[in-house]
Structure 1
Amino acid sequence: MKPTRVLVVDDSAAMRMALSRILASDPQIEVVGAAPEPHAAREMIRALNPDVVTLDVEMPGMDGLAFLERIMRLRPMPVVMVSSLTAAGAETTVDALRLGAVDCVAKPSGGPAGWQQDAALLCQTVRDAASSRARRTHVQRRAPGVAVRAGFRPRVVAIAASTGGVEALFHILPQFPADCPPTLVVQHMPAAFTASFARRLDRDCAVRVCEARDGAPLRPGTVYIAPGGTHHMILDGGIAGTVRLVAQDKVNGHRPSADLLFRSVAPLGEKAVGVILTGMGDDGARGLLAMRAAGACTFAQTRGCCVVWGMPRVALEIGAVDQEVSLSHMAGTILAACRDGQHREP
């Protein structure tokens, strides 16, 4: 099996060296070059044809976002954003994921133990990115003042996403009306970025989007984003219940876990809608199966529009999915199921 060929792009010579050493320590990764800024990186991409690019979020001259947008428009390829753990860095990283970056990792920091943990995550993320499907992206923007047909039945929507999910959610959620059913979202991403992700979505959506807090009442017109890191998000108390954040070990390698969310929503039966989007691995597949067995409508993103067809594939294979739905039709299909239980694409 050929190693993943990586180009490192960072304006700091020390960080370029550190990232290159970390990546080169993995026998499945080959660092083919390191560029100090986007203009040099552009020429190296042409000459070296890497499988994956790691890209610093904040650089002088053409910043990382502008360079990423150019890559995804002219030569789509897997890009992993490497971000500092600052508020500005988190906001920019979310925008990068929206533009089509495959994933994001924090720059290595702390002592030797912290570096070792960060190094393992960086290498794993780059290896995963190599198997993703890069494509030209088009940012979905909500058209103000568009009339929508409301009249929802009592429903709760639960959504799971991982690699490529940020872009997918920026396509789906801006199409939800302000009175949509309460929606719970597990998106696998580093803890430092989920609050910025929720704020960025909230600016683009008619529905209110917030990072979930423990004990928050479940309310229509609200999307709850599970905070990354130390807790899982579950529903407690049914259709008029509360959002709970529980401290438990990782499930399927993740915290928060989509499986735990889906299982907590499954008792609602036909009053629930479950959705599994693009992502690596199998988190959420068995929980979605529990939802379907209880009578919920369950949907999976189609293979052709997934960045990584992992979670939806497993869900489909085990019989957890009522219907595969394209990204362009996903919002309409979810809302239709919340109105009248229809499973058909509009």
Structure 2
Amino acid sequence: MSLRHALAAALLAAVVSSPALLPSQALAANAGFMVLREPRADGQAPVEVGIWYPTDAKPTFMALGSWGHTVAAGAPVAGEHLPLIVMSHGNGGFFGGHADTAQALAEAGFVVAALTHPGDNYKDQSRASAMSDRPAALSALIGWMLESSPLKAKLDPARVGAFGFSSGGFTVLAAAGGEPDLSKVLAHCQAHPANYDCQLTARIPIPADGLTARWIHDPRIKAVVSAAPALGFTFGADGLSGITAPVQLWKAADDEILPGDDYAEAVHRNLSRPHDYRVVPGARHFDFLTPCDTAPPGGAQALCASAPGFDRRAFHRTFNAAVTQFFTDQLVAPVKSLPGH
């Protein structure tokens, strides 16, 4: 099944018009929500950005594709000097793929900005294998949020984290200092032609500029959560040595899209610094996506289908709490006593 087509079928009808359980001390606010357009240079189309943030306004349930979130649309932002989390979705996705995780973080006092990656989303796959585009776009999003966005005055530029899933998991590792070597893809795909990344690059070859481009690193990223990262094997030990931010790394034990030990396990093996590594028994690749509220159309059932006996909603209560606690420990606790915080 093509992930691009699955996501397109699930999301084409989405109209942007289940709260997660968190530790009691984190329930500081409800979640507000808005969709903004980040301008780009040279007349390129603006980037779609979904933003979740703390608010005191009363939230209501809103549908978002085959899932939803409980938010107060367009409500005022509550708080000052707020930490920022930027989110990077997987191949063929969109900004709302982790809506429940974003909602949980907003309820805990974070502003979350999730972009729809240009050239790699459910509408447009023209640059799906140009992986260097992704960290560049994520870094640009950080700059826009801190310097030009309507929320800039509410944000603390010293407290920025990054969350990513699948291709987004790769993205946040690269943006935080990782140096992948995409020349390793050829040998990998000769050995594993059935893997999804190899099917993707066979269909959409890595462009020449994607092999020679400079990787954009952003030192403003102070903490990283990477779930089921794609192309983990391309980093190696040397390629991960530039990551100095704390890392929480997740692996789906029964990942059918990125199977085996070449992805999250390769990052775990080669990331020499201490990090928080979590393997989720019984989880499949898409279990990191928000649990579905409605059956997706067409061939997109894999996005919502978990293995028999795996409770995706229960897992997300644990997952969202762990992600929120990690970012709280790394971005809130160390600086809460500083002047202005």
The TM-score by the shorter chain falls in which range?
Answer: 0.3 to 0.5
- TM-score normalised by L of structure 2: 0.33
- TM-score normalised by L of structure 1: 0.33
Higher RCO (CA-CA < 8 Å; seq separation 6+): 2
Larger gyration radius, structure 1 or structure 2: 1
